[in-house]
Amino acid sequence: MSSIKSYLKKNRQRHLDEIKEVLRIPSISTDSGDPKEVRRAADWVAKRLETAGCTRVAIHPTGGHPIVYGEWLGAPGKPTILVYGHYDVQPVDPLELWKTAPFEPTVRDGKLYARGASDDKGQLMIHPLAMEAHLQVNGTCPVNVKFVIEGEEEIGSTHLEKFIKENKKRLKCDAVIVSDTAMFAKNIPSICYGLRGLTYLQVDVKGTSTDLHSGSFGGAVVNPAIALVEMLARMKDARGRVTIPGFYDNVQRLTVAERRAFASLPHSDRKFSRQVGAPELFGESGYSTLERLWARPSFDINGIWAGFTGDGAKTVIPAEAHAKISMRLVPNQTPKEIARKATAYLRKIAPKSIKVAVRDLHGGDAWLAPTDHPALVSAGAAMRRAFGKQPVFIREGGSIPIISVFEHQLKVPAVLMGVGLNDDQIHAPNEKFDLINFYRGIEASAYLMEELGQAAAAPQPARKKASKSRAKSNRKKVRRSGSRGR
């Protein structure tokens, strides 16, 4: 056993105890959270980067929650990686559905339950722990490491873009490493090369100047709740196509090779619908579930409210109705373009009897990377060593908008080696992180540092046309694994 491997094995309990510490801090970044707690999590991360061996650590204040920066640059001549992660978490409601309290991390059946366990405190910590392992075992690390850990990812990375633009020199690196996504399935290590983008809008509809008695007025005035649901119902058709004019104008089409690669993954619609508890799946016709999730845009209502929703009955016509809607985007749709098109369409179809206001809450670009970059090849090798299996290439339906900002500003590839699972219940009650993935994730990160350090010593030619071989290699890689239960 390599000394890194045995060191990591010996330190598993300590690593677990340490992530439990940070998981006890309720660093909810939304308005419902307490900024002091978010700050406490930033302080914890900064301290931990210091004890891991960073020689420079700074907590950068922003107009919102702080950005934690750390660096260890003791390997001159070697490549530099920049680790990105987020220490903020989503709110915990509905609280009553949690089996154990969200900020009292608890291990059950090899899984660590807590808000942020998988998204993203547990996952982000694999990298400093890996760097620490190298420094402890070998007195040095095979690559230079920079950390940018933010506290605003869940609210749209409000201040990080500016920080990146203003600190390009400081952040100079050869690759950005992120663990904030899921593997395709348990025991199927994965490298993610694509994420969807996002446009998120709030629609406010106003009818009358006040709520009205539905007997005295019902039938003679507009009901804004009805107007709103009628409008929203017109944004998608029965075949699952979004009906906003121009919505698909810039959508990058799936290639035959990529469709084949998706189809070669061990996905089962039956298992997937069972996992989500849906009687039947529904989506854009002509596309498979993985295509719909990873490479086709979507439209959703995230929340909708109006009028009386308490116990019992109250006869009322609400004066207002509201909805939060989102669209997941694919290359080359842009958040602004889609926000504009959706807003124009809503205005156009709104009945004259109501006033409609649309607010753009946040958004981000989709991200798609070539799969043949040497950094990805190194990540693949590292994952294979840690998980004992060749990883598959996947895309994901979620969004991490800052990834494309890093790529464009720093002109380096991003490597997404997420070790979460699709049943981690991120953003939901009973979020968890499988401890085996935590431990293997640390190992994978340590190996990635080795692989990148070696690749620099003896540069390997990038594989040609990896996309063509993706289907074949995905098939080979997963032959011995069962299909995922998603």
- Please list, in sequence order, all residues whose beta carbon lies within 8 angstroms of the beta carbon of residue 172, skipping any fewer than 6 positions away: 80, 410
CA angle at residue 187 from 185 to 191, to 5 degrees?
65
H-helix or E-strand containing 457? helix 435-457
**What is the b/e burial string over 241-256, where b = at least 16 CB atoms within 10 angstroms of the residue's CB?**
ebebeebeeebeebee
Subset of residues 386 to 405 that bind ligand BES, contact rule: CB under 6 A:
396, 398-401
Q: Which is nearer to Mn ion, 30 or 252 (CB)?
A: 30
Listed ranges 12-20, 113-121, 196-204, 473-481: which one lies at the site for Mn ion (CB under 5 A): 113-121
Among ligand BES, Mn ion, none, residue 413 binds (CB under 5-8 Å by kind): none
What's the closest the beta carbon of residue 150 comes to Mn ion, in angstroms?
10
Q: Which is nearer to ligand BES, 4 or 265 (CB)?
A: 265
- Please list, in sequence order, all residues whose beta carbon lies within 8 angstroms of the beta carbon of residue 372, skipping any fewer than 6 positions away: 462, 463, 464, 465, 466, 467
Phi-psi region for residue 157, left (φ > 0), alpha (ψ -120 to 50) or beta?
A: left
- Please list, in sequence order, all residues whose beta carbon lies within 8 angstroms of the beta carbon of residue 321, skipping any fewer than 6 positions away: 204, 205, 207, 224, 225, 227, 228, 304, 305, 306, 307
180 lies in the site for Mn ion, by CB under 5 A: yes
SS3 185: strand
182, 421 Cβ separation under 8 angstroms:
yes
What's the closest the beta carbon of residue 290 comes to ligand BES, in angstroms?
13
What's the closest the beta carbon of residue 412 comes to ligand BES, in angstroms?
20
Place of tokens 């899984």: 111
What's the closest the beta carbon of residue 371 comes to ligand BES, in angstroms?
17
Among ligand BES, Mn ion, none, residue 318 binds (CB under 5-8 Å by kind): none
**Contacting residue, 66, 85, 105, 119, with ligand BES by CB under 6 A:** 119
Strands 355-364 and 316-317: unpaired
Q: Which of 119, 132, 152, 153 is catalytic?
A: 153
Listed ranges 14-22, 112-120, 165-173, 296-304: which one lies at the site for Mn ion (CB under 5 A): 112-120
What's the closest the beta carbon of residue 153 comes to Mn ion, in angstroms?
6
80 lies in the site for ligand BES, by CB under 6 A: no
For residue 34, indicate whether it is catalytic.
no
Q: Which of 88, 396, 431, 434 is catalytic?
A: 88
- Both structure tokens of 18: 């340490």
**Contacting residue, 71, 88, 120, 451, with Mn ion by CB under 5 A:** 120
382, 445 Cβ separation under 8 angstroms:
yes
Subset of residues 346 to 365 that bind ligand BES, contact rule: CB under 6 A:
362, 364
Among Mn ion, ligand BES, none, residue 182 binds (CB under 5-8 Å by kind): ligand BES
Listed ranges 31-39, 178-186, 210-218, 332-340: which one lies at the site for ligand BES (CB under 6 A): 178-186
366 lies in the site for ligand BES, by CB under 6 A: no
198 lies in the site for ligand BES, by CB under 6 A: yes
Measuring CA to CA, which residue among 194, 264, 204, 268 is closest to residue 231?
204
What's the closest the beta carbon of residue 399 comes to Mn ion, in angstroms?
9
| CA distances from residue 147 to 54, 154, 449 in whole angstroms, order as listed | 9, 18, 14
Among ligand BES, Mn ion, none, residue 453 binds (CB under 5-8 Å by kind): none
| CA distances from residue 266 to 118, 254, 421 in whole angstroms, order as listed | 23, 19, 15
228 lies in the site for ligand BES, by CB under 6 A: no
298 lies in the site for ligand BES, by CB under 6 A: no
Residue 216 Cα to chain centre, angstroms: 49
3-state SS record for 250-298: CCCCCCHHHHHHHHCCCCCHHHHHHHHCCCCCCCCCCCCHHHHHHCCCE
For residue 300, indicate whether it is catalytic.
no
Q: How many residues contact ligand BES, by CB under 6 A?
A: 17
Catalytic residues: 88, 153
Binding footprint of ligand BES on the chain (CB under 6 A): 119-120, 153-154, 156, 180-182, 195, 198, 362, 364, 396, 398-401
Binding footprint of Mn ion on the chain (CB under 5 A): 119-120, 180
